[in-house]
Amino acid sequence: MQIGFIGLGAMGLPMTRHLVDAGHHLTVTSRSPGPIDEAVGFGAIKGDSPAAVAEASEVIFLCLPNSPEVTEVVTAMLDKLGAGKLVVDCSTIDPDVERGLHDTVRARGAGYLDAPLSGGTAGAHKGILTVMIGGDDTTVAAATPVMEPFAKLVVHVGGPGMGQVVKLCNNMIYAAQMTATAEATALAMKSGVDMAKLWEVLVHSTGDCVAVRTRLPVPGVVPDSPASNGWKPGFMTDLMVKDLDLALSYAAKAGVPLATTTTAHEALAAASAAGYGRQDFSAVAKVVLGQAGVG
């Protein structure tokens, strides 16, 4: 199949490799030339612009940082969209912006889905991402087989924008897990608890969660954790702050109070301000541990 991919960042680039390995004809573009060159090296074709990618492709994936960039790229592609074309937005953006883009693209006769991802860069490299899709049944059925090279689970969660809502709910929970894990770590360290013993208890107790299992923020306790690997990001602090911004804004419009998310957002924003924005979001623990005097 003729596939396009726009946005070759930490998630997009490994996704494109899986698509090429699956035998698809892939045309790509991105803001930076380095990832384009890498994609060309494993078999993709360079597109000169989003419009050129759309013109060459039946299905066009987007994997971009924010709502304005998705809107800009979709606008740039519009003249090349029509019947037989399908845009799949794997970015995490504002649900209401996404609903507007659904309408804009469908007015051209093309299909559109919001399909944000979970699994981080590790999941992208392994091809085991979870995809949560918003859109109509027919378009979802057409797109799902194309996602198989990089996805372990594809779930149609509802109509336009609902993929984004579900993704924001997921990240609200994950951010709360991480800030609670950071605070528990600070309390345990301040009290002289053996961190390896703490982790052993937690993963077999009611405190068990993904943040504890993969991101206990003490070097050497979890070998694959960011803390044990120079805080290399599986998901950057700045991106989690962005997603919580989206969640808080959307919840305010919906009339839903988010006290826990507000607290997590404040902690993560402080980590960004402290210079940890491009490190893994578990680096929020550096701020918490520092405030506790154990960092």
pTM (2 decimals)? 0.95
Tell me which residue of 170, 182, 168 sits closest to 268, measured CA to CA: 182
Please tell me which residue in 167, 190, 242, 253 is annotated as part of the active site. 167
Token output for 15: 């996704």
Residues of the chain with CATH 1.10.1040.10: 165-292
The pLDDT, as a whole number, for residue 286 is: 98
Residues of the chain with CATH 3.40.50.720: 2-158
pLDDT above 80 for 3:
yes
Interval 95-129: pLDDT, tens: 999 999 999 999 999 999 999 999 999 999 999 99
User: With left for phi above 0 and alpha for psi between -120 and 50, is residue 44 left, alpha or beta?
Assistant: beta
- Give the residue among 65, 205, 63 at the shortest CA–CA distance from 124: 63
Query: In this structure, which amino acid lies at residue 207?
Result: G
CA distances from 174 to 57, 118, 235, 240, 243 (A): 35, 11, 11, 9, 11
Burial of 7 (0-12, 13-18, 19+ CB in 10 A): buried
Sign of CA dihedral 38, 40, 43, 45: positive
Assigned token pair, 208: 């068990």
- Residue 295 predicted with pLDDT over 80: no
Which percentage of the chain shows pLDDT scores above 90?
100
What's the pLDDT tens digit per position in 234-278? 999 999 999 999 999 999 999 999 999 999 999 999 999 999 999
59: Cβ contacts below 8 Å, ≥ 6 apart: 1, 2, 3, 4, 85, 86, 87, 88, 143, 146
Distance CA 124, CA 266 (A): 28
What pLDDT is stored for residue 236 in this prediction?
Answer: 96
Question: In the predicted model, what is the mean pLDDT of the chain?
Answer: 97
Of the candidates 183, 171, 282, the one whose C-alpha atom is nearest the C-alpha of residue 224 is 282
Per DSSP bridges, beta strands 117-118 and 129-134 are antiparallel
Clarify whether 286 is annotated catalytic.
no
CATH topology of domain 2-158: Rossmann fold (3.40.50)
**Average pLDDT rounded to a whole number, residues 18-26:** 97
At residue 142, the pLDDT reads 95
How large is the average pLDDT for residues 59-85? 97
Distance, in Å, from the CA atom of 253 to the CA atom of 165, rounded to the nearest integer, reads 13
Write down the CATH number for the domain with range 165-292: 1.10.1040.10
Phi, psi of 26 (to 5 degrees): -115, 130
Q: Check residue 191 and give its pLDDT.
A: 98
CA distances from 187 to 107, 206, 291 (A): 55, 18, 11
pLDDT tens readout for residues 24-47: 999 999 999 999 999 999 999 999
Q: Provide DSSP, 199-253.
A: HHHHTTSTT--HHHHHH-SSTTTSTTSGGGGTT--SSBHHHHHHHHHHHHHHHHH
pLDDT number for residue 54:
98
Q: Where are the beta strands (DSSP E) in 100-193?
A: 111-114, 117-118, 129-134, 151-158
Q: Which of 61, 79, 73 is nearest to 2 (CA)?
A: 61
For the stretch 136-155, what's the b/e string if a residue is b when 16 or more beta carbons lie within 10 angstroms of its beta carbon? eeebbeebbebbebbbeebe
